[in-house]
């Protein structure tokens, strides 16, 4: 515990010092913070922001990505609100997993009302990822293994018990008729670390998201998407991946991906960026960039996104309660 607290304080100090030299909006150097190690879904979000803005506004200086791991987004959320709250050109990647953690009070005293939600870039889908030589060729194979020995399959994912990835794994266990409390789940600081563990054979299956899996496979990782948690086949690079519904398992999991800004960003700067993102999201070129990364369309900015975020957090609070997870009051 002492080591965790020390790490948290160190990260806050680093973040604060970085804020002292952060360029202004006028400098034209936007920054996207990925609240995890490289290689996960937050990294995908920042890369999509960089590619999308560059396509729609070539004169804009390329977005730089920085990494701030800790608490699967909690460290970044607290640091931005406390120390980098007025930076007019800083975006922070968020996901449905972030909102699921906020719903449970895992981000400390702050809630979904304490930042400015800027833009939703698309919808990701939950998947199960295995090595390309895995003995599990289908979801049925995995379910059969869980039925034989519930603790014989080691799941990996971002976060700990109660996280979004843990929830997806628990839904698979329930579909197998297995007590989810008996399954083995190893939590990591982001999808990049979880998939590295899978490649190293430290876990058998990763409960993750389509975008991060597709990015790794595109870069040569010997991985395979076993199933996607959707109610119909998805287009593009996911068109050949079977859905859980096809296999007779009623599991669906969607995951918003987008960016937020600090709570004290000037309204003029916030609205200016919302306009830029609206323009970006309306371009056919952005549709292609989004589909290439395995995301489905979702276009929400500003006040519309804020409404969606609050509705989603409320839905997740109910799901967490139904799942017997402890909800901490802010």
- Pick from 252, 279, 307: which residue ends a domain? 252
d(CA 244, CA 254) in angstroms, rounded, equals: 13
Do 69 and 133 lie in one domain? The reply is no
Mean pLDDT over residues 198-207, rounded?
A: 96
How many angstroms separate the Cα of 177 from the Cα of each of 47, 106, 145, 253? 39, 29, 12, 19
β-strand 116-131 against 205-209: which pairing, if any? antiparallel
Q: Residue 193: which residues within 8 A CB-CB, separation 6 or more?
A: 37, 39, 40, 158
Cβ pair 9, 42 in contact under 8 A = no
- Pick from 230, 252, 274: which residue ends a domain? 252
Do 239 and 272 lie in one domain? The reply is no
Q: Please state, for a pLDDT cut of 90, what percent of the chain lies above it.
A: 75
Range of the domain at 234: 125-252
- Pick from 195, 229, 252: which residue ends a domain? 252
Do 69 and 166 lie in one domain? The reply is no
Please give the pLDDT value at position 266: 98
| CATH assignment at residue 196 | 3.40.190.10
| CATH assignment at residue 57 | 3.40.190.150
Is 142 part of a structural domain of the chain? Answer: yes
Structurally, how many domains does the chain consist of?
A: 2
d(CA 262, CA 94) in angstroms, rounded, equals: 13
Do 174 and 243 lie in one domain? The reply is yes
Do 166 and 260 lie in one domain? The reply is no
Please give the pLDDT value at position 308: 97
Do 90 and 43 lie in one domain? The reply is yes
pTM over 0.75: yes
Is 25 part of a structural domain of the chain? Answer: no
Do 279 and 160 lie in one domain? The reply is no
Do 286 and 238 lie in one domain? The reply is no
Assign 324 a pLDDT band (cuts: 50, 70, 90).
confident
Is 157 part of a structural domain of the chain? Answer: yes
**CA Rg, the chain, in Å?**
19
Do 134 and 243 lie in one domain? The reply is yes
d(CA 255, CA 260) in angstroms, rounded, equals: 16
Is 264 part of a structural domain of the chain? Answer: yes
β-strand 184-188 against 154-158: which pairing, if any? parallel
pLDDT tens digits along 154-176: 999 998 888 999 999 999 999 88
Do 239 and 277 lie in one domain? The reply is no
Do 80 and 226 lie in one domain? The reply is no
pLDDT tens digits along 98-127: 999 999 999 999 999 999 999 999 999 999
Is 329 part of a structural domain of the chain? Answer: no
Query: Which residues, in sequence order, are bridge partners of residue 127?
Result: 208, 228
Do 161 and 244 lie in one domain? The reply is yes
Mean pLDDT over residues 143-163, rounded?
A: 93
| Structure tokens, 192 | 């990049």
């Amino acid at each position: 515990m002492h080591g965790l607290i020390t790490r948290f304080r160190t990260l806050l100090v680093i973040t604060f010092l970085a804020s002292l030299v952060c360029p202004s909006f006028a400098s034209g150097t936007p920054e996207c913070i990925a609240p995890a190690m490289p290689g996960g879904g937050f990294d995908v979000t920042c890369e999509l922001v960089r590619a999308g803005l560059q396509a729609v506004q070539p004169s804009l200086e390329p977005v730089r990505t920085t990494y701030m791991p800790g608490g699967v987004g909690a460290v970044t959320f607290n640091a931005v609100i406390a120390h980098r709250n007025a930076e007019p050109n800083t975006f922070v990647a968020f996901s449905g997993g972030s909102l699921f953690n906020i719903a449970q009070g895992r981000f400390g005293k702050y809630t979904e009302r304490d930042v400015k939600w800027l833009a939703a870039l698309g919808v990701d889908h939950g998947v199960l990822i295995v090595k390309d030589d895995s003995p599990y060729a289908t979801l049925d194979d995995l379910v059969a293994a869980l039925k034989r020995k519930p603790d014989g399959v080691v799941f990996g994912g971002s976060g700990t018990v109660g996280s979004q990835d843990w929830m997806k794994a628990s839904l698979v266990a329930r579909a197998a008729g297995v007590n989810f409390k008996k399954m083995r789940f190893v939590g990591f600081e982001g999808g990049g670390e979880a998939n590295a563990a899978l490649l190293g054979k430290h876990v058998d299956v990763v409960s993750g998201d389509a975008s991060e899996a597709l990015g790794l496979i595109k870069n040569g990782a010997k991985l395979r998407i076993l199933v996607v948690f959707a109610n119909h086949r998805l287009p593009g690079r996911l068109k050949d991946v079977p859905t859980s519904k096809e296999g007779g398992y009623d599991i669906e999991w969607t995951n918003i991906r987008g960016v937020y800004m600090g709570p004290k960003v000037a309204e003029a700067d916030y609205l200016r960026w919302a306009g830029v993102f609206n323009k970006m999201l309306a371009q056919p070129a952005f549709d292609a960039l989004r589909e290439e990364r395995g995301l489905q369309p979702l276009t929400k900015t500003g006040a519309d996104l804020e409404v969606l975020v609050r509705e989603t957090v409320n839905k997740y609070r109910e799901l967490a309660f139904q799942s017997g997870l402890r909800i901490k009051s802010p």
